[in-house]
């Protein structure tokens, strides 16, 4: 599934994203740690590429200022930065470069498996690491994209 997600992101192609999004729960995207998740149903997820819709993703770390922007301007570049680089992938284990906050899979989602896709920091600048937790849900005998949650170093 991560290959299909990466292909959809690279090609700005909602037709590739829609069929891998959970038909039961849609796709929940959390861009900021402790931020406000945005839930897209399968049809909406296919329209995120190129959409000018500004989303309130919650408060930014350190400043507390609102983090606002479109999926295309904020989420997609960070997903591509991780999936398009040398990265580590682990199942049901969180890999990250060190955080000043607690990173944990939400207890509410305890029955959902996830992949941790981690891009280590640049040597000499180790604080530019990033991790995306990719929730994967089984439904109708198939596996679907359930959630995307971004983690990175915060002050």
Q: Compute CA distances 100 → 2, 96, 103, 152, whole Å.
A: 28, 11, 9, 10
Judge if pTM exceeds 0.75.
yes
pLDDT in tens, 92-122: 999 988 888 888 999 999 999 999 999 999 8
Q: Band of the pLDDT at 140, cuts 50, 70, 90?
A: confident
pLDDT in tens, 37-84: 999 998 899 999 988 999 999 988 778 899 999 999 999 999 999 998
pLDDT value for 2: 56
CA distance 30 to 83: 17
Q: Compute CA distances 95 → 69, 138, 154, whole Å.
A: 26, 23, 16
Q: Is 124 exposed, middle or buried (0-12, 13-18, 19+ CB in 10 A)?
A: exposed
Domain spans of the chain, in order of start: 2-152
CA distance 88 to 115: 10
pLDDT value for 146: 96
């Amino acid at each position: 599934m991560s290959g299909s997600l990466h292909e959809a992101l690279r090609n700005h192609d909602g037709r590739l994203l829609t069929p891998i999004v959970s038909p039961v729960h849609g796709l929940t995207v959390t861009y900021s740690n402790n931020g406000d998740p945005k839930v897209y149903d399968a049809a909406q997820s296919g329209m995120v590429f190129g959409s000018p819709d500004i989303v309130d993703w919650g408060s930014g770390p350190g400043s507390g200022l609102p983090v606002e922007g479109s999926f295309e301007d904020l989420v997609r570049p960070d997903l591509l930065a991780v999936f398009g680089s040398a990265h580590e992938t682990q199942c049901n284990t969180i890999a990250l470069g060190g955080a000043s906050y607690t990173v944990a899979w939400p207890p509410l989602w305890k029955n959902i498996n996830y992949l941790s896709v981690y891009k280590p920091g640049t040597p000499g600048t180790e604080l530019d690491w990033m991790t995306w937790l990719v929730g994967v849900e089984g439904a109708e005998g198939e596996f679907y994209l359930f959630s995307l949650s971004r983690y990175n170093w915060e002050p």
